[in-house]
Structure 1
Amino acid sequence: MNITLWIITAILALLFLAAGSMKLAQPKAKLAAAGQGWVEDFSDDTVKRIGTVEILGAVGLILPALLNIATFLVPAAATGLALLMAGAAITHARRNEKPNVIINIVLGILAAGVAVARFGPFSF
């Protein structure tokens, strides 16, 4: 089970690192033109903050466990990312973006699963 959790955690970290980097690197107008219409509902600063939270969450999923320092941060980061995905699902649902809602729900469930497992029977 530990290997499965590491695989899920690594996939989540890569996805959130990529998504966060995209939000930090590209201007809001370019994100909107690329199909990320939800950015129209938020300020530039908020979009950048969301990207920063995603990157910090990705780092928090992996780095504490690899270094064996403050490993409680792994499930804490997973919990934060699950909550972020809940907010994202609500935002996309309000905009009637059903494919994005499904992606947010799947990522949120995976992050919540990592949080429960790492807080519980498979902690470090």
Structure 2
Amino acid sequence: MTVAYWIVAALLAVFYLYAGGKKIAQSQEQLRPMMGWVDRVPMPAVRTIGTLEVLGAVGLILPPLTGVAPWLAFASAIGLFLVQVGGIVVHLSRGEARLIGLNIGLLVAAGAAGGLGTVWL
């Protein structure tokens, strides 16, 4: 169970460090081709989402790795799960149902990490 957690957590962490880092560092114009929804969301909110994604990625890895507050891995997985719920809602509200495949995959992976992360509760 621990090996499965590390595989899922590592994949999620890499994805969210990349995606969250882009939301933090890039301008609205740079993000628009990849994330059309940034036109409807104020940039401070986009930056906040990016920050939460990066913190979630760090929370999946560092607490269980160091043994300091390892329950934060479960909390991070649940937080990333909720980020994807929000992403699905945004896509559906924009009539972009065909674009939610990645969101669903990330939602399932975050749910799996949450379930596997209960080993540290």
For the aligned pair, the TM-score class normalised by the smaller chain equals: over 0.9
Instruction: Give the corresponding residue for 1:31.
Output: 31
Map Cα deviations across residues 50-74 of structure 1 (whole Å, 9 max, x no partner).
Answer: 1000000000000101111000000
**Residue 19 of structure 2 aligns with which residue?**
19
Alpha-carbon shift at residue 27 of structure 1 (Å) = 0.4
Structure 1-normalised TM-score? 0.91
- Equivalences for residues 48-87 of structure 1 within 5 A: 48-87=47-86
Match of 1:123 in 2: 120
Separation of aligned partners in 2, 1:43 and 1:109: 28
Letter in 2 for 1:123: W
Q: Structure 2 CA distance, aligned partners of 1:60 and 1:112? A: 15
The two structures, once aligned, show a CA RMSD in angstroms of 1.3
2:77, 2:114 within 8 Å by CA — same for their partners in 1?
yes
Partner of 1:5: 5
- Map of 1:89 onto structure 2: 88
TM-score, normalising length: structure 2: 0.93
Gaps of 5+ in 2: none
- What is the SS of the residue equivalent to 1:35? coil
SS at match of 1:29: helix
Q: CA–CA distance in 1 between the matches of 2:98 and 2:65?
A: 34
Please, which moves more after superposition, 34-43 or 46-55?
34-43
Question: C-alpha displacement at 1:97, in angstroms?
Answer: 2.5
Extract unaligned runs of 5+ from structure 1: none
Runs of 4+ in 1 over 2 A off after TM superposition: 96-100
Count of aligned pairs between the two proteins: 121
Q: In 1, Cα distance between the equivalents of 2:34 and 2:60?
A: 28
- 1:82 to partner: Cα distance: 0.1
* 1:7 counterpart letter in structure 2: I
Structure of greater relative contact order (alpha carbons < 8 Å, 6+ residues apart): 2
Alignment partner of 1:112 is 2:114: no
Inter-CA distance 26–117: structure 2 relative to 1 (3 Å threshold) = same
1:21 and 1:66 mapped to 2: Cα distance? 22
